[in-house]
Amino acid sequence: MNEVVESDVVDAGRRRVLAGMLTAYTASLIPWALAAPVASLNEGTFLALSAILVGQTALDAELGGRLHAALMTESPRFDADAQALLKLIDSEHVDPARLQATLDASHSPLAPLPRQIMRAWCLGLVGEGEAARCIAYENALNAVVVAEVLKPPTYAYGPYGSWSKPPPAKGDGGP
């Protein structure tokens, strides 16, 4: 679980702290975040960055705390890098759709960070290779996003034969 350092806890000022981290640009990407509780400045940064990357209007704050703790364990520079990346997105007004290409083109040392955060939220995974850990499965975002159509593998879809019916929902958009 996420370790919350008491002195870092922002109680009444939670919203103001997070709001203070964001410019109008980043706030426009994550209007939800202004109302979200955060336990610390670093966690607030992580959640804001997460919201921009995953494009979600509601993130599970408890899971966020666990993912943040795991990512910090993985890299002592994580919080500093996350703040730098959020600042970059803010100052350069980087569109999330072009973020990775922008970082790759400039050979930024921050280039691995978006994928680490995406892997954490969307696959529930932190760390690579033998050090990889699964933090979330059925509540990882890739399961949540399709939850009205699919169950994560190992979870029963439904009574025998229920899968013969047409899928219940329509996907939207296109590549």
Q: Which residues bind another protein (CB under 8 A)?
A: 29, 52-56, 95-97, 99-101, 104, 114-115, 118-119, 122-123, 125, 127, 129-130, 132-134, 137-138, 142-143, 145-146, 149-167, 170-175
Q: Please check whether residue 100 is in contact with residue 21, taking contact to mean a CB–CB distance below 8 angstroms.
A: no
Give whole-number Cα distances, 131 to 73, 81, 113, 122, in Å: 11, 20, 17, 18
Provide long-range contacts, Cβ within 8 A and 24+ apart, for 168-171.
Answer: none
Closest approach, Cβ 34 to another protein, in A, equals 18
DSSP 8-state symbol, 7: G
> With DSSP H G I counted as helix, E B as strand and the rest as coil, what are the percentages for the chain, rounded to 5?
55, 0, 40
Residue of 28, 14, 13, 8 whose CA lies nearest to 96 = 28
Between 10 and 84, CB nearer to another protein: 84
Between 5 and 156, CB nearer to another protein: 156
Closest approach, Cβ 75 to another protein, in A, equals 17
Residues making up the chain, counted from first to last: 175
Closest approach, Cβ 107 to another protein, in A, equals 15
Between 14 and 90, CB nearer to another protein: 90
Between 76 and 153, CB nearer to another protein: 153
Between 2 and 100, CB nearer to another protein: 100
